[in-house]
């Protein structure tokens, strides 16, 4: 699901996204055309300003004065919405997946996020998550990191942690030192053109009222970049979504002094760092339930698992 649309009183998802985009495109076109006509009418009033007032319909003039700013507001709002929808389509993401990505980016340096990711990996694969390496550095750095990891795995067993009463307890930090948000790969991003055709179908069918996406969306194809570069080997979102763990995330001010990356410092001091998934909000103040997600049902399903 992408979001719940209050205009159509319907959930917009993979199956009806082309219809929603056509709805937006046609309403944007018609309201824009109306705005042009209103502006032309206002200009005609200016040209006829020397004529007697009784030659101009006062009712029509009042309607034009009232409708012009109203229509401009509608056109501007639809333009912003269209840009937002197409930017998400170009990325191969839904609004909820964009929200999840921003949440993980915001909480990347939190203990409870990585406790959830590690536990999700353990539940799916039956073993501890291997150590992660950053692919964003130089080749020499990556080779050195891989060599260090292999030596550690030969000498010691994989770092263990226990979950007691739903709360992970660990001596060392669960946050990987050699892994960054840039190394996180979204599984369904194929580049803007393929993302566009996957969502809206073939270009020659875009204006047809009954055309749909290229697949059913039930078993989505994963990108080659994800297959080659992903290290987590987890479904999206990697922390399992509805599963939450409470872990104390104390600020290490001595470590903060050593960090030279301003963005990383901001994330570590972000007040949303330790918020649960249901509480977290993006920079616009939107929470998960604002997109139409039934949090109570998700919680019940997670308890059943």
Just list the catalytic residues. Answer: 5
Sequence-ordered list of residues with C-beta below 8 angstroms from that of 21, at least 6 positions apart, any chain: 85, 86, 89, 200
Residue 12 CB partners (closer than 8 Å, separation 6+): 1, 2, 3, 4, 5, 20
Residues 87, 90, 94, 96, CA torsion sign? negative
Burial class (CB in 10 A: 0-12, 13-18, 19+), 93: buried
- For 206, how many CA atoms within 13 A lie in the half-sphere containing its CB? 13
| Number of residues that this document lists for the chain | 305
CB 20 within 8 A of CB 5: yes
| CB burial of residue 169 (10 Å; 0-12, 13-18, 19+) | exposed
Q: What CA–CA distance (Å, rounded) separates 72 from 37?
A: 12
């Amino acid at each position: 699901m992408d979001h719940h649309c209050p205009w159509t009183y319907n959930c917009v998802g993979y199956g009806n996204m082309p219809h929603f985009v056509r709805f937006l495109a046609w309403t944007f076109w018609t309201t824009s055309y109306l705005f042009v006509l209103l502006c032309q009418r206002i200009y005609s009033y200016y040209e006829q300003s020397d004529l007697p007032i009784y030659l101009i319909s006062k009712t029509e003039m009042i309607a034009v004065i009232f409708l012009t700013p109203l229509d401009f507001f509608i056109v501007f709002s639809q333009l912003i919405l269209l840009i937002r929808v197409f930017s998400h389509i170009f990325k191969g993401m839904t609004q909820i997946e964009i929200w999840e990505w921003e949440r993980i980016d915001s909480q990347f340096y939190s203990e409870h996020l990585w406790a959830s990711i590690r536990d999700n990996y353990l539940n799916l694969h039956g073993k501890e998550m291997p150590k992660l390496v950053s692919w964003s550095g130089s080749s020499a750095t990556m080779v050195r990191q891989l060599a260090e990891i292999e030596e550690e795995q030969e000498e010691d067993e994989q770092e263990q942690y226990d979950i007691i009463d739903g709360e992970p307890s660990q001596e060392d930090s669960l946050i990987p030192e050699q892994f960054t948000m840039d190394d996180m790969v979204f599984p369904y991003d194929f580049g803007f053109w393929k993302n566009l055709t996957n969502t809206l179908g073939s270009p020659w069918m875009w204006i047809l009222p009954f055309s749909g996406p290229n697949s059913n969306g039930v078993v989505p194809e994963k990108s080659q970049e994800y297959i080659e570069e992903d290290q987590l080997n987890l479904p999206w979102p990697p922390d399992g979504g509805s599963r939450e763990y409470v872990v104390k995330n104390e600020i290490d001010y001595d470590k903060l002094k050593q960090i030279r990356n301003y963005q990383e410092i901001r994330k570590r001091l972000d007040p949303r760092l330790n918020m649960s998934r249901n509480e977290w909000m993006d920079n616009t103040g939107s929470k998960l339930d604002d997109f139409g997600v039934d949090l109570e049902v998700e919680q019940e399903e997670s308890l059943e698992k």
